Amino acid sequence: MLQLPNQTNYYKGKVRDVYTIGEKHLAMVVSDRISAFDHVLPRPIPYKGQVLNTIAARFLDATQDIVPNWKISTPLPNVTIGLKAEPYRIEMVIRGNLTGHAWRTYKSGKRELCGVELPEGMKENDFFDAPIITPATKADEGHDEDISREDIIAKSIVSEEDYIMLELYTRQLFERGKQMADEQGLILVDTKYEFGKIGDTIYLIDEIHTPDSSRYFYKEGYQERQDAGQPQKQLSKEFVREWLMANDFQGLEGQTMPEMSDEVVNNITNRYIELYEQVTGNKFEKIDIPEDEWLATLKNAVKELD
């Protein structure tokens, strides 16, 4: 664990290390750790932290006209410094297509997800008539749980007034993300947003539109693949989950995490870099900074905070 100037708290998440600076700021280090099914995999993925942090910074900058966000600066490829907000204890998940968890729910025969009715006759990866919001409670340990809008308000997890704004921001952010993805030949399929509050103002916090929080399809050939009943070509962390499931691991009790070969680790790195380049339209530059220089840069950035 680092010790940064004026550090008042430290939290180690599955993939991020968060340092509280004073009372008003955070320094978030996006590590190369990778998680799936709420478990951290045994080996880090080189450059993953840089990919996630750089994509998130791009989209935070591109959406600050919609809702204020926590980002102040990105002094290092895998570090963001920003404002400390009181987080809402839910994640705002929004889905444009019947994919992933929504499809697994649908395939089981259920026609309701988080209080949202799902129409009959849909196929995997079909577009919804309009994006649906399927919130989840945010758990410190274990699995996040699906929850309906009505239960969030009834249980006073979020006030009705604030929840209406969270839904509005979620839809506007998703629309902006879809527009930016479309420009790169991609479809933003689903994603999640986290929000917090500073005083009376709602802020967008954490990452946004990264492969860890979002799913993308390639736009070219989408309809042809749907018509033929073929899987969609996608960019997301789903391929990591698929590899784990193929090796008999879904995070369930009694299951053993499979070993990760060098080939598996390299393949995952390459997929993350591919997503970076597809989403941003920029060539990915691997940045390696000596540890002492990295630490000095971070400490200097923290010292500059008010």
Q: 182: which DSSP letter?
A: H
Q: What digits encode the pLDDT tens for the residues 92-106?
A: 999 999 999 999 999
| Per-residue pLDDT tens over the stretch 149-168 | 999 999 999 999 999 999 99
Query: What pLDDT score does 2 carry?
Result: 86
Query: What's the topology of domain 87-236?
Result: D-amino Acid Aminotransferase; Chain A, domain 1 (3.30.470)
* Cα 11 from Cα 18, distance rounded (Å): 5
Does pLDDT of 139 surpass 80? no
pLDDT 10s digits, 285-300: 999 999 999 999 999 9
Share of the chain above pLDDT 70, in %: 98
Q: Per-residue pLDDT averaged across 50-79, rounded?
A: 97
State the maximum Cα–Cα separation within the chain, in Å, rounded to a whole number.
Answer: 58
| Residue 22 banded pLDDT, cuts 50, 70, 90 | very high
What does the mean pLDDT of the chain come to? 94
> 306 or 51: whose pLDDT is higher?
51
- Whether the pLDDT of residue 142 is over 80: the answer is no
Domain ranges of the chain: 87-236
CA distance 68 to 47: 28
| Distinct helix (H) and strand (E) counts, the chain | 8, 18
Q: CB within 8 A of 30, min separation 6: which ones?
A: 15, 16, 49, 50, 52, 53, 56, 78, 79, 80, 207
End-to-end CA distance of the chain: 23
Instruction: Provide the CA 54 distance to its chain's centre, in angstroms.
Output: 13
- Asked if residue 94 lies in contact with residue 174, where contact means CB atoms within 8 angstroms, the answer is yes
Q: What's the rounded Cα separation, in Å, for the pair 185 and 235?
A: 12
Mean pLDDT over 169-182 rounds to 98
pLDDT for position 183 = 96
**Residue 176 pLDDT level (bands cut at 50, 70, 90):** very high
Residue 270: in which H helix or E strand, if any? helix 262-280
DSSP state, residue 258: P
- The alpha carbons of the chain give a radius of gyration, in whole angstroms, of 19
Q: How many angstroms separate the CA atoms of 44 and 48, rounded? A: 8
Cα separation, 175 vs 193, in Å, equals 13
| Residue 140: per-residue pLDDT | 60
pTM of the model: 0.91
Q: At 7, which amino acid appears?
A: Q
